[in-house]
Amino acid sequence: MTGITELSESELRELRSSVRDFLEAKSSEEAVRKVIETDLGYDPEVWSQMAEQLRLPGLIIPEEYGGDGFGQVALGAVLEETGRALLCSPFFATVVLGAQALLASGDEEACAAYLPGIADGTTTAALAVSERTGAWDPVQIETRALRRGEGDAGWELTGTKSFVIDGVSADLLLVIARTTAGPSLFAVDRGAAGLTAEPLETLDGTRRMARVRLGGTPARLVGTDGAGGRLMARILDLAVTGLAAEQTGGAELCLESATAYARTRVQFGRQIGSFQAVKHKCADMLVQLELARASAREAAVIADKGDETAFAVAASAAHVCCSRAYMFAAAENIQVHGGIGFTWEHPAHLYFRRAKSSQLLFGGPHAYHERFLERLGF
């Protein structure tokens, strides 16, 4: 795609290595357990270091808005590492959802207003789409937008959004609401009148979610009025491609954890990895992982090439494949570890929780299987 800065294989390896080294130091199991107990849900100092030292928030933002202009392949490499480390940060909400929603809108004025702050790490963002059912379906958008003034800034929003990732802490809220022309994208600043956000109690403490209420809240139209349905489809394809990379990283860590334990745990005088049942579990995990990695990376490559039709299919395929692989790997990792894998003290349950929450993130298995079939023309 024109305008995307491509990385060579050696540069991608260097990027992965740099991010992994950083996360091993900043997102250890101890750090993750500590941060999920905080009100914010992430460490602001680590977020600042991600921006200042690695420039990660600006990774896919075009250079004219203060970013580095890389594409989905580079983003996927980073997300694989954040998935391995169970990174608690606003990276997914801000970059994978928020920044890409702004870019997909095609609104140059809004991009110029918001993307530089995202690129330098001073602005975090959240995308509010789903409502009561958790579905990303334009038909189910009930939040209303009414024009109360002139220009793009003369709107007010009323409604409730659910399952908004990092919705409590975000500086910028991007909301899909319905106008007389149809679903549309709006920007709401943190602290706007009538805006309240409350944390939701969820299975996965490493990814915070919120319920956001809007009561006549001032908002700015982003992009074209009524173009929200098309925009939702585009954002969802980009989001699940990023999620697939993250899931691949988590599944890889689960496999590594299981095989390492199988080599060291001894029962009946033998390493448990020598037992056929355990061997088969690890082999099946590897097969699922390789399929997931291939599908996630292929979706990213197609996205960067700009083939929208092929990308829609590849993104849906990656979503199906990687959700299944991560759930399988996380569950089998617990089984290989036996009794200790079921304890709160072991990290296996943290990965299982992330795998499950990721599987349900954009509507769950029923929704993403239906979406895949639709993309294939059925």
Whether 37 and 19 share a structural domain: yes
Domain count across the chain: 3
For residue 3, being part of any structural domain is answered with: no
Q: Is 192 found in the same domain as 134?
A: yes
DSSP β-ladder status, 195-199 and 209-222: antiparallel
Residues 114 and 134 in one domain: no
CATH number of the domain that residue 163 is part of: 2.40.110.10
Model confidence pLDDT, tens digit, residues 351-364? 999 999 999 999 88
Please give the pLDDT value at position 272.
Answer: 82
- Comparing 187-191, 332-336, 368-372, the range with the smallest average pLDDT is 368-372
Could you tell me the CA-to-CA distances from 365 to 77, 128, 233, 316, 332 in Å, in that order? Answer: 25, 21, 17, 11, 19
Tell me the pLDDT tens digit for each residue of 251-294: 999 999 999 999 998 888 888 888 889 999 999 999 999 999 99
Nearest of 25, 3, 1, 10 to residue 77 by alpha carbon: 10
**Alpha carbons 33 and 38: distance in angstroms, whole number:** 10
pLDDT of residue 1: 40
Do 180 and 49 lie in one domain? The reply is no
Q: What is the pLDDT of residue 203?
A: 92
**Statement: residue 307 has pLDDT above 70:** yes
| pLDDT at res. 152 | 75
Q: Same domain, yes or no, for 217 and 256?
A: no
**pLDDT digit string, tens, across residues 221-234:** 999 999 999 999 99
- pLDDT at position 271, please? 86
Quote the percentage of the chain above a pLDDT of 90: 86
CA distance 179 to 259: 53
Q: Tell me, letter by letter, the H, E, C secondary structure of the chain.
A: CCCCECCCHHHHHHHHHHHHHHHHHHCCHHHHHHHCCCCCCCCHHHHHHHHHCCCCCCCCCCHHHCCCCECHHHHHHHHHHHHHHCCCCCHHHHHHHHHHHHHHHCCHHHHHHHHHHHHCCCCCEEEECCCCCCCCCHHHCCCEEEECCCCCCCEEEEEEEEEEECCCCCCEEEEEEEECCEEEEEEEECCCCCEEEEECCCCCCCCCEEEEEEEEEEEEEECCCCCHHHHHHHHHHHHHHHHHHHHHHHHHHHHHHHHHHHHHCEECCEEHHHCHHHHHHHHHHHHHHHHHHHHHHHHHHHHHHCCHHHHHHHHHHHHHHHHHHHHHHHHHHHHHHHHHHHCCCCCHHHHHHHHHHHHHCCCHHHHHHHHHHHHCCC
Structural domain includes residue 1: no
- 327 within a domain of the structure (yes/no): yes
Residues 263, 365 within the same domain: yes
Domain that holds residue 211: 125-225
Same domain, residue pair 288 and 371: yes
Give the end of a domain, one of 225, 249, 264.
225
Does 139 lie in the same domain as 244? no
CATH of the domain at 22: 1.10.540.10
Answer with the one of 179, 207, 225 that is the final residue of a domain.
225
pLDDT digits (tens, 9 = 90+) for 180-221: 999 999 999 999 999 999 999 999 999 999 999 999 999 999
**Do 247 and 145 have their domain in common?**
no
Per the domain annotation, does 4 fall within a domain? Answer: no
Q: What is the mean pLDDT of the chain?
A: 95
Confidence band, pLDDT 50/70/90 cuts, at residue 296? very high
Closest CA to 210 of 159, 169, 158: 169
